[in-house]
Structures are given as C-alpha cells and as structure tokens.
C-alpha cells in the first residue's frame, strides 16, 4: 500500500511505460524487414512488371501443348525474367547483408570472453544494418528510377 501511494505520488511517464522493450534479435528482425517496408511500393511495381513479362514471354504456344507442358522451360524463363527485372537489387541486398554479418562474426571472434565487447559488437551490427538499409534504398532509387 505504501509503495502504491509512493508510486502514484512520484510517477514519471517514460518510453518504457508506453512501448514494449526490444531485444537485439527483435531489432535485427525489424531492420531486416525495414528495407522491404521502405521500398514496398517500388517493389510492388517491380513485381507487377515481372509478372507482365512472364505472362508475355514465358507462356508461349510452343511451350504449352495439350498433352505436354514444358514446365522446365517455363521455370527457366521465369528465372531469367526475374534476374533481368530484379536481379541486381537482390544481389545488392545479399551482398550488403553478408558483408554486415561477416563484420559482426569477425568482431565476435576478436572479443573472446569479454561480455562488454560482445555487446559492442551487437550494437555495431545493428547500426550497420540501419546504414545498409539506407544504402540499399539509395541504390534502388539510382538503379530503378522507373519504379520510384
């Protein structure tokens, strides 16, 4: 009872009262999704163009017969079309993510058993992910201005 009265008397609202705490894993997941959230509309336009190209080029009469559908040829055409339309973006995404992950693992190897250095590596990893997202959005805008 005394604690409740004291808490009501001296109560300051903080961000911890308003939002749920996030672990480094939660933040990492959020940053992985952030690039797709920020590029949602342009990626939808890219996907729409990809599907239009697939319908136009991959489902031709020579691949579609009543008794035999050449599924392998259709799938190969889809892969080539996807590579042509969106391949560079997904290559850049993989390169940035792998680079950040490699820097993180190297940092962890250098820390040994030092918990403070390990926490610094985790924080650096999260900061690098945010920077990667900014670079990817900028690079997407430069490489694909027709979707922006």
pLDDT in tens, 61-120: 776 776 777 888 889 999 999 999 999 999 999 999 999 999 999 999 999 889 999 999
User: Which residues, in sequence order, are bridge partners of residue 69?
Assistant: 64
98 neighbors 125 (Cβ within 8 angstroms): no
pTM of the model: 0.78
pLDDT tens for 33-69 read 999 999 999 999 999 999 999 999 988 877 677 677 7
User: Structure tokens of 24?
Assistant: 């480094």
């Amino acid at each position: 009872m005394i604690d409740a009265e004291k808490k009501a008397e001296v109560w300051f609202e903080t961000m911890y009262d308003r939002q749920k705490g996030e672990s480094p894993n939660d933040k990492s997941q959020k940053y992985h999704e952030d690039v797709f959230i920020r590029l949602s509309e342009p990626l939808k336009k890219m996907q729409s163009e990809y599907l239009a190209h697939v319908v136009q080029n991959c489902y031709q009469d020579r691949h579609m017969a009543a008794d035999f559908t050449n599924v392998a040829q259709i799938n190969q055409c889809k892969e080539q079309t996807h590579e042509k339309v969106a391949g560079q973006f997904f290559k850049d995404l993989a390169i940035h993510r792998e680079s950040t992950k490699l820097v993180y693992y190297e940092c962890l190897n250098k820390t040994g058993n030092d918990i403070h250095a390990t926490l610094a590596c985790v924080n650096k990893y999260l900061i690098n992910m945010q920077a990667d997202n900014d670079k990817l959005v900028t690079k997407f805008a430069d490489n694909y201005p027709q979707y922006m």
